[in-house]
Amino acid sequence: MTDDEIALLLDVVRTPEAPRLSLEERLQLMEDHRSIVDLVMAYGWLCDARRWDELLDLYTDDFERVLAGTLVERVSGKEKLRALYEAPALPRAGDRDGPPAASQLNTYELRHMIHPPVVRIGDDGASAVAAAVYSLVASSGDGADFRKGDHQGGYIFGFRREPVGWRFCTMTVISENARNPLFQA
């Protein structure tokens, strides 16, 4: 990640939370933090299992995802995102070669290893942001055909409290995907 990309993550870390004075407010803050950490972890596991319906249930209808770092993409709306989860395009930044075909990418076993996120609940109690760094390990084949590659990056998630609870509303993925040997054509 570049210094500017790391600065985006640090902006979240440096975001202050308003002091919660009452016991009820402090308890609510703790519950909100726990709910959001659980969402971030569920994101990784559901991506690994390719359970797109369950994952998209955790998103608001107006969800927006931005890919940055070695990738460049912006997509709004759950249905457009579903298509990209099912057949990843992974457009590259700059002059980098594209990834293998989606049919090949979809054969990989994936493991998102997400570092515990830093969560900040907005003063309104209805919005939140979280930052986390991750490694994604992809593997393919067995025995002599076994291949493995990994890459790192960072997430900046935006959340909104909905009637059913906290939901993802935005996501910026700062990815080093194009440096992963399994994601090169």
Domains and their CATH numbers in the chain: 3-14+23-183 (3.10.450.50)
DSSP strands (E only) in the chain: 59-69, 73-76, 109-114, 118-121, 127-140, 147-162, 165-175
Task: Give the pLDDT confidence score for residue 67 in this predicted structure.
Answer: 96
Q: Which residue in 116, 138, 130 sits closest to 159, CA to CA?
A: 130
User: How many C-beta neighbours within 10 Å does residue 70 have?
Assistant: 21
Task: Give the pLDDT confidence score for residue 100 in this predicted structure.
Answer: 84
Residues 6+ apart with CB under 8 A from 4: none
pTM (2 d.p.): 0.94
Task: Give the pLDDT confidence score for residue 96 in this predicted structure.
Answer: 74
Task: Give the pLDDT confidence score for residue 94 in this predicted structure.
Answer: 82
Mean pLDDT, residues 63-84 taken together: 95
pLDDT at 91 over 90: no
Mind listing the pLDDT tens digit for each residue in 5-56?
999 999 999 999 999 999 999 999 999 999 999 999 999 999 999 999 999 9
Task: Give the pLDDT confidence score for residue 56 in this predicted structure.
Answer: 98
Q: In the structure encoding, which two tokens stand for residue 46, read together? A: 């559901």
- Label residue 4 exposed, middle or buried (CB < 10 Å: 0-12, 13-18, 19+): exposed
